[in-house]
Amino acid sequence: MTSASTNPDTLSYEQAGVNYDLIDPLKVSAQRAAAATAVHLGGHGFTEVAASRGESAYVVDVGPFYLASIVECLGSKVLVADAMAELTGRSWYEGIAQDTIAMAVNDLITVGATPLVVQAYWAAGGSDWFGDKARAQALVAGWKKACDTCSVAWGGGETPALAGIVEGDRIDLAASCTGIISPKSRLSVGDDLAEGDAIVLLASSGIHANGLSLARKLVERLPEGYLTEVEPRLSYGEALLAPTILYSPVTEALAKAGIAMKYCANITGHGWRKLLRHPSAFTYRIEAVPPVTPVLQFIQKHAQQDDREAYSTFNMGAGFAIFVKAEDAQRTVEVAQAQGIAAIVAGRVEAGPKQVVIEPIDVTFGTEDLQLR
């Protein structure tokens, strides 16, 4: 990451405790081993969609349609929910459930898939976790509600009690999601992404579920911790816990409207550097940025991050990017808005070196800023 600030008071993601240097060699080795297993699909009469390797969901051609699948972790947002439960006496797990499903569903839809089945993975530090009925019921209710929003079937799941692995009174939440891409023309792994295509950005609700390590570390700097007000009557903790927006209603509505998504980027870890996800060399020119949600403005200010650091870490108001033909851009915005989700035509794909140029804030990220493959 080349976005390290020279301001000694800046709180960066690495300082917040996540060391990608240690994780990445394993990832590379796992990705190589995984790629070598694709050959097995041939034995069943199928093939992988090779372009989906390195994308947010894995896609297999099973004949009449494509099959997409994924497993995703919520991460450390539960620690904010637990801290806020102590401070406020109420459970925040209904929103946490939505966050967890959003992690899986919002990745699955990037390839053009309709999510069909979600499985729950709720690994608690001990049986006692499930003994707090209000919290457990909030998790169930939120999970159900998020499935309803995404029109997905909750297939089942796993609720292990893992004393000695998961910490006492904590829970490790994840979701797997399976879907199909049908008709096959809905596949959006970016093979036809071209110069002139438009970049539409869908609004985020707040921090979503990425950058929480830093957001939690920041609490130490705040006078009233999680209860510090981001704006009148909105505490930092509550603002952080705004549930991640579920974007599948938008992608499904686009399909129904006959608008083809060429490519998508779920803006999660690495913030706007995720706009560089597509493997080809294109320049992504951003001429308009969405409003930054108050909690992210607040974090940027208190963590003393410059725009480069902030946009390379957080979603900064844009939770999901959809790449469409230029003539479909405005309708894409309208379809999103009809689903209650703000959207803007933010920029376009150009010929040129691989970079994202965010003109309104004068920040450019290049290939050295994102190594996902």
User: Which residues within the stretch 288-347 sit at the binding site for a copy of itself (CB under 8 A)?
Assistant: none
C-alpha to C-alpha distance for 294 and 291, rounded to whole angstroms: 9
- Residue 296, token pair as written in the block: 């992210």
Binding mask of the shown chain, residues 192 to 211, with x at each position contacting a copy of itself by CB under 8 A: --------------------
User: Which residues within the stretch 138-157 sit at the binding site for a copy of itself (CB under 8 A)?
Assistant: 140-141, 143-144, 147-148, 151-157
Buried b / exposed e over 273-309, threshold 16 CB at 10 Å, is bbbbbbbeebbbbbeebbebbebbbbbbebbebbbbb
Phi, psi dihedral angles at 325 (to 5 degrees): -60, 145
User: Which residues within the stretch 210-229 sit at the binding site for a copy of itself (CB under 8 A)?
Assistant: 213
86 near a copy of itself, judged by CB under 8 A? no
Q: Tokens 């372009």 identify what position?
A: 51
CB of 15 to a copy of itself, least distance (A): 13
Q: Which of 334, 355, 357, 356 is nearest to 345 (CA)?
A: 334
Nearer to a copy of itself, 98 or 213 (CB): 213
- The DSSP line for 69-98 is EEEEE--THHHHHHHHHHHHSS--HHHHHH
C-alpha to C-alpha distance for 304 and 34, rounded to whole angstroms: 40
CB of 326 to a copy of itself, least distance (A): 30
Nearer to a copy of itself, 82 or 369 (CB): 82
- Residue 339, token pair as written in the block: 């689903």
User: Which residues within the stretch 256-295 sit at the binding site for a copy of itself (CB under 8 A)?
Assistant: none
C-alpha to C-alpha distance for 168 and 187, rounded to whole angstroms: 43
**What amino acid occupies position 333?**
V
51 near a copy of itself, judged by CB under 8 A? no
Nearer to a copy of itself, 76 or 305 (CB): 76
Nearer to a copy of itself, 163 or 338 (CB): 163
71 near a copy of itself, judged by CB under 8 A? yes
Q: Given candidates 102, 171, 310, 344, which one binds a copy of itself under the rule CB under 8 A?
A: 171
23 near a copy of itself, judged by CB under 8 A? yes
183 near a copy of itself, judged by CB under 8 A? no
Nearer to a copy of itself, 59 or 346 (CB): 59
Site size with a copy of itself, rule: CB under 8 A? 88
Nearer to a copy of itself, 2 or 37 (CB): 37
- Residue 351, token pair as written in the block: 């010929």
Q: Given candidates 3, 11, 66, 75, which one binds a copy of itself under the rule CB under 8 A?
A: 75
163 near a copy of itself, judged by CB under 8 A? yes
Which element (helix H / strand E) includes 350?
strand 343-350
